[in-house]
Structure 1
Amino acid sequence: MAQTILAVDDEKDIAEMLKYYFTKQGYRVITAQNGKDALKFAEKKPDLILLDINLPDLDGLSICEKIRDFVSCPIIFLTARIEDGDKIRGFAAGGDDYVIKPFSMDELGARVAAHLRRELRRSGGSEVRFDENLVIDYSARRIFYQGKELLFAKKEFDIIEYLSQHPGQVFDKETIYERVWSYDSEGESSVITEHIRRIRAKFSAAGAGSYIETVWGCGYQWAR
């Protein structure tokens, strides 16, 4: 099931841009343009909230304080304010991060993914069993199939980590490349094809099925 993001911004263009971008990344996105709707939609327990500080009815800090009574997910403030005092008040209200407007959608996307990964590790522990055969220990960066350790290169593990923490979501090669190699790395997203071929070969050699599926014309997804 896709993770849910609640995006709150009183500017319609920004709200629509956030919905378009994160929907394309495989998330389910709910938008709100005022504090009243933000409080209502927060009751649906999203996985992460993007919260504009300057809203017409309730400011983002007040909303954050109110929803922290029943919401524990990461909250990222979207704001034009940059003073240290504002940041301190935001963190004190229960916020987890700040992104300054105008912002890069790719940078915001990277921060969202990082917060969701940390939340997944925190809620499920560092070791995750995907079925009766496969166990991934994210903290130790080790993978076991039927009790036997499988050895993967660093980038191979990074790809497995990223896809397995977003099961069922489809990512194109460019997105995987940006997340694993970072935005300013030199190289081609086509290297993803070769790395996934190697990953599949190692799973196959161990007698495992293909945990990474190709969605033709779209990209790859973690199948289980």
Structure 2
Amino acid sequence: MSRILIIDDEQALVQLLSEELTANGHEVLAAYDGNEGVLLAAAEPELVILDIMMPGLNGFEVCRTIRDWVSCPIIFLSARQSEADKIRGLTLGGDDYVLKPFGLRELMARIEANLRREARTRQASREGNSSKLHYGRLSLSLQERLVRINGEPLALTRREYDIVELLALHGGQVFSREHMYEKIWGYDAEGDASTVVEHIKKIRAKLAAADPAGEYISTVWGIGYKWTEQ
């Protein structure tokens, strides 16, 4: 069972989602405006479903506010279909963006997929450095800081490994180039996000040479990169 926080001012929609999620064994918390949503986020949900247009704080502001302490997946629900809105939601820390109106079965599938990714990340964190993760023919050893393809070590530099680990541990989450640069190189590093692009090119070349059929890192155009589940 997972604790899921719904933040949306459409009461009928919140009730529908609450009933469906409860029937699937989840605990549901509901907030009908952004301010209440920020308060309920302190209850440490495993996933947040977040509307954009709401009274008080809008969804973008809520995401920006809670992202500093809430690490769980955030799924935006919105009738706003512009590419700029999608990019903004994902770069603020959202993990998925679902347009209204949506199919209930599709939304439930997306929720479960995000929960599985989160569970895998938490399991890796609990197991610490002894953990090994597997993605198709690729395996990632956190203790050894080593990537293998079909059991054979992949020759990665320290920065290249750091990028692979960051993306793999947050499978499906989109990282902007700027966010990745800050995470890997640090806020005070000399350089810019174009460095990330060059490192991604080298990583992809090495992965393709070892596993021509695999596609592990996807480009999300206009935003950045994400790890592709195998």
Give the TM-score normalised by the residue count of structure 1.
Answer: 0.56
Q: CA deviation at 1:56?
A: 1.1
Identical pairs, percent: 45
Measured in 1, the distance between the counterparts of 2:63 and 2:124 equals 26
Alignment of 1:160-179 (within 5 A): none
* Cα distance change on mapping 1:127 and 1:93 into 2, 3 Å: closer
> Are 1:126 and 1:139, in contact at CA under 8 Å, matched by a contact in 2?
no
CA distance in 2, matches of 1:99, 1:78: 5
Q: What is the CA–CA distance in structure 2 between the aligned matches of 1:125 and 1:66, rounded to whole Å?
A: 26
TM-align CA RMSD:
2.2
Residues 68 and 13 from structure 1, CA distance in 2 versus in 1: closer, same or farther, beyond 3 angstroms?
same
Q: Which amino acid aligns with 2:122?
A: S
Q: Confirm or deny that 1:80 pairs with 2:79.
A: yes
User: C-alpha distance in 2, partners of 1:57/1:123?
Assistant: 32
State how far apart, in whole Å, the 1-side matches of 2:21 and 2:68 are.
26
Quote the residue 1:42 is aligned against: 41
Letter aligned with residue 102 of structure 2: F
Matched residue SS, 2:49: strand
1:149-206 Cα deviation digits (max 9, x unpaired):
xxxxxxxxxxxxxxxxxxxxxxxxxxxxxxxxxxxxxxxxxxxxxxxxxxxxxxxxxx
SS in 1 for 2:53: coil
Query: Counterpart amino acid of 1:102?
Result: P
Once the 2 structures are TM-superposed, how far is the Cα of residue 92 of structure 1 from its aligned partner? 1.5
Q: 1:125: how far off?
A: 2.7
1:152-167 → structure 2 map (5 Å cutoff): none
Aligned positions of 1:122-137 closer than 5 A: 122-125=121-124
- Structure 2: tracts of 5 or more residues without a match: 128-132, 138-230
Structure 2: which amino acid aligns with 1:113? E
The alignment partner of 2:30 has SS state of strand
**Correspondence for 1:20:** 19
In structure 2, what is the equivalent of residue 94 of structure 1? 93
Q: CA deviation at 1:123?
A: 1.6
Q: Which residue of 1 aligns with 2:116?
A: 117
CA distance in 2, matches of 1:30, 1:138: 33
Residue correspondences, number: 133
- Tell me what 1:201 maps to: none
Cα deviations by residue, 1:99-154 (Å, 9 ceiling, x for unpaired): 110111110000000001011111213998xxxxxxxx87579xxxxxxxxxxxxx
Secondary structure of the 1:29 match is strand
1:68 Cα offset (Å): 0.4
Q: Given the two structures, how large is their TM-score scaled by the length of structure 2? A: 0.54
Structure 1: gaps of 5 or more residues: 129-136, 142-224
